[in-house]
Amino acid sequence: MKIRKTLLAAMLAMPALAMAATPVINVYKSAACGCCEAWVKHLRDNGFKVDAHNVANPSDIREKMGIPDRFGSCHTAVVDGYAIEGHVPAAEVKRLLAARPKAKGLAVPAMPLGSPGMEGPRKDAYDVLLVLPDGSSKVYQHYN
């Protein structure tokens, strides 16, 4: 009986532990940007806790996190020491946090149609880039 109670208590605690282990994503965006709001919704729909911050110049955060301007988009997020620039799919953020590569973060430069938050009738191919410590990048995932 004591073992069952202990097992039951552990099973009930698992969802709380899983939620506590999920880091908060801080998103820095313009108050007027609808696609930024759509990307925040995408993250929340995929299990992330998001704190959205309206700022005058989201590129200030990109610069602070060491992401070169050439990778710029309309918003920058920070999660667990990584920068997430632009419309990066939640699946790639989860993969980044699980793998913990030595990198500054992920970027989807510009605002490709069909990426999360940029949904519509057209879907363009795009790359999610892993931004390396020296500011260079490599393709982390390609989307058709």
* Nearest 10 degrees: Cα torsion 91, 112, 58, 100: 30
Full-prediction pTM beyond 0.85? no
Mean pLDDT estimate for the chain: 88
Residue 67 dihedral angles phi and psi, to the nearest 5°: -90, 120
Which stretches in the chain have pLDDT values below 70? Answer: 1-21
Q: Quick one: pLDDT at residue 34?
A: 83
Would you kindly state where each structural domain of the chain is located, as residue ranges? 23-143
The per-residue pLDDT for 1 is 53
Question: How is domain 23-143 classified at the architecture level of CATH?
Answer: 3-Layer(aba) Sandwich (3.40)
